[in-house]
Amino acid sequence: MGLNCGIVGLPNVGKSTIFSALTSAPAEAANYPFCTIDPNVGIVNVPDKRLKKISEIIVPAKEIPAIVEFVDIAGLVKGASQGEGLGNQFLSHIRQVGMIVHVVRCFDNEDITHVSGQIDPASDIETINIELALADLSTVEKRIEKSAKQLRSPDKDISKNAKTMIPVLEMLKESLGQGIPARALEFTDDQLEGVQELQLITMKKQMFVCNVDENGLGGNTYVDKVREIADADGAETVVICGALEADIAALETDEEKQEFLEEAGLEESGLSKLIHKAYASLGLRTYFTAGTDENRAWTFNDGALAPEAAGVIHTDFQKGFIKAEVYHCDDLFELGSEAAIRKAGKLRQEGKTYVVQDGDIMHFKFNV
C-alpha cells in the first residue's frame, strides 16, 4: 500500500483549506469549482508525544519525526467517470494514492456555494462513491474484454489465468454497476492478487472528514449522517473545523498553537487526529532510533520483521542484518535511562524473525 492519502470530495467542501492547514503550504482555495486542477502534494509530520519524551531523556542534537504524504485532488462532480469536470484526469490521480480521505461539507453558509445547491452529506457521499465505482466499472469491463481474448492464447498459463479471473471480473462488474465498492466483496488470496493488479479505486480504504463550522465541533445532524454511512462501510470519521484549523496553522510557534487550542477547549487539533488516524489506517507504525546525534521516528508497515524495518533506514541494513538491540519506549519512560533498562534486563537481542512493535527503540547490527 502507498504511504499517502488522497483528499477527495465535491468542489467547495473545504478540501484545499484543510490541505493548506495540514501542510502549512497554501493550496489555491476559491469559491468556485475546479480551482484545484493539478494535485497539490504535501509532506506532513506525524505528531508523536513519544518522540518528545524520548528526547527529554536521551537529549539529541536534532529530532526528526515520522511523515505521511497528503495529496489534494481536485473536486469531483457527477459525471466525473465520463470526463465531466476534468474527471478522468482527477480519477487517475486517485489511483496513485494508498488511501482516500473523503471530505464532506457539514456546515451551512450561504456565502459559500454548494455545487448541487443544497447541503446533503448523504447525497454528496453517494455522488463521489458512484463516480468512483463507475470509473472502476470501466476498468473491469476493459479487463473482461482482454481476458476473453486471452482465453484463446496458445500460452497455457495466460489462458488459465484468464479463465480464473473472468468469474471474479463478472462479480466485480455486477457489484460496481450497483455502486457497491470492490472492498465490500470477499476474495480468496489468489483472486485478491489478480484484483490488486487492476488498481481499483474502490478497493482502497476510505475515511471521512466532516468539515464543520465552530458550532459543529461537538457534532450536528450532518455529522451524524456521515458517521452512519462511515460505520456501515467500516470507515473512520474525523470531525474538523477547516476554518479554525487554518487559523491554528497560521500561528508561528507550537506554544501559540497550544494556547489557541486550550482557549478553544480542545485537547488536540482536528488535523492531529486526522494525521494519526490516516497513518494507522494505512497500516503504518513507528519505531525509534535514539542517540546524542539524532532521535528519529521511522515508519514501517505493521507486521514487518526486523530486517525489513532496518531496510527503512538503508537497504544495506537489511542486506547485512545481523541482529537488533531492542527495548520499548514505555520501558524508557518508566525506568528513566538506557542504563536502567540494561540493569533491569529490558534490553533484548532480536534476530531476523522478530516482529517489530510500534514504539520499539532499536539499534541495528549489520555487516555488508
- Write out the residue limits of the CATH 3.40.50.300 domain(s) in the chain: 4-48+63-120+204-281
Report whether 45 belongs to an annotated binding site: no
Whether 76 contacts 83, CB under 8 Å: no
Cell numbers for 276: 494519526
- Write out the residue limits of the CATH 3.10.20.30 domain(s) in the chain: 303-366
Distance, in Å, from the CA atom of 320 to the CA atom of 147, rounded to the nearest integer, reads: 43
Look at residue 27 in the predicted model and tell me its pLDDT. Answer: 38
Report whether 351 belongs to an annotated binding site: no
Average pLDDT over every residue of 348-361:
96
Report pLDDT digits (tens) over 97-150.
889 999 999 998 887 767 667 889 999 999 888 888 888 998 999 999 999 989
CA Rg, the chain, in Å?
23
For residue 40, pLDDT beyond 60: yes
For residue 2, pLDDT beyond 80: no
Identify any residues that bridge with 326 across adjacent strands, giving them in sequence order: 348, 362
Look at residue 11 in the predicted model and tell me its pLDDT. Answer: 82
pLDDT band at 30 (very low <50, low <70, confident <90, very high): very low
Distance, in Å, from the CA atom of 268 to the CA atom of 263, rounded to the nearest integer, reads: 12
Fold classification of 131-202 is DNA polymerase; domain 1 (1.10.150)
Report whether 16 belongs to an annotated binding site: yes
Fold classification of 4-48+63-120+204-281 is Rossmann fold (3.40.50)
Q: Best-predicted range by mean pLDDT among 36-50, 98-112, 191-205, 299-313?
A: 299-313
Report whether 161 belongs to an annotated binding site: no
Average pLDDT over every residue of 208-218:
91
Report pLDDT digits (tens) over 164-211.
899 999 999 999 998 889 998 988 888 888 888 888 999 999 999 999
Report whether 14 belongs to an annotated binding site: yes
Whether 239 contacts 138, CB under 8 Å: no
pLDDT band at 77 (very low <50, low <70, confident <90, very high): low
Average pLDDT of the chain, as a whole number? 86
Report whether 13 belongs to an annotated binding site: yes
- Write out the residue limits of the CATH 1.10.150.300 domain(s) in the chain: 131-202
Q: What values do phi and psi take at 343, rounded to 5?
A: -65, -35
Fold classification of 303-366 is Ubiquitin-like (UB roll) (3.10.20)
pTM attached to this predicted model: 0.81
pLDDT band at 28 (very low <50, low <70, confident <90, very high): very low
Report pLDDT digits (tens) over 82-100.
544 444 555 677 777 889 9
